[in-house]
């Protein structure tokens, strides 16, 4: 709908629940003119692949390991893009990710 965003909650106690986010009126009071605009209360976010993240420096990063990384090097690149470890958020189902490196490559 043009005035509502329908979203699904991904984490927390309401995981899987569908919610509706309405547009809210924003009325600035620091302007000489009075006006009102309707705006969705959402924050812009970006997603990029691990390969595209190489060479980037990020203040905050989230890594989704729902699908495993192609190699150990990719996981290292993803984790090393953030300035501090406290700004790195990793999603791994059951706290684990699969090792998909070939066993012969590890010998």
Chain segment 49-60, per-residue pLDDT in tens: 666 666 777 888
Return the SS3 of 1: coil
Beta strand pairing status for 61-64 and 37-39? unpaired
Per residue in 55-106, pLDDT tens?
777 888 888 877 766 666 777 777 888 888 888 888 888 877 766 666 665 5
Question: Which is higher by pLDDT, 5 or 38?
Answer: 5
pTM above 0.85, yes or no: no
- Paired residues of 39 in beta bridges: 24
Cα 23 from Cα 28, distance rounded (Å): 16
The total of other beta-carbon atoms located within 10 Å of residue 82's CB is 20
Beta strand pairing status for 88-91 and 61-64? parallel
Task: Give the per-residue pLDDT at 89.
Answer: 87
Please name which of 41, 49, 46 lies closest in space to residue 7, comparing C-alpha atoms. Answer: 41
Cα 78 from Cα 80, distance rounded (Å): 6
How large is the average pLDDT for residues 16-29? 86
* CB proximity list for 90: less than 8 A, separation 6 or greater: 62, 63, 65, 79
């Amino acid at each position: 709908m043009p005035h509502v965003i329908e979203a699904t909650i991904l984490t927390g106690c309401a995981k899987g629940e569908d919610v509706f986010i309405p547009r809210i009126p924003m009325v600035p009071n620091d302007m000489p003119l009075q006006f009102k605009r309707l705006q969705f209360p959402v924050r812009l976010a970006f997603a990029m692949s691990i390969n595209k993240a190489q060479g980037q420096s990020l203040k905050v990063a989230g890594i989704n390991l729902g699908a495993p990384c192609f190699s150990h090097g990719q996981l290292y690149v993803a984790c090393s893009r953030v300035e501090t470890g406290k700004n790195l958020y990793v999603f791994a189902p059951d706290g684990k990710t699969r090792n998909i490196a070939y066993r012969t490559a590890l010998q």
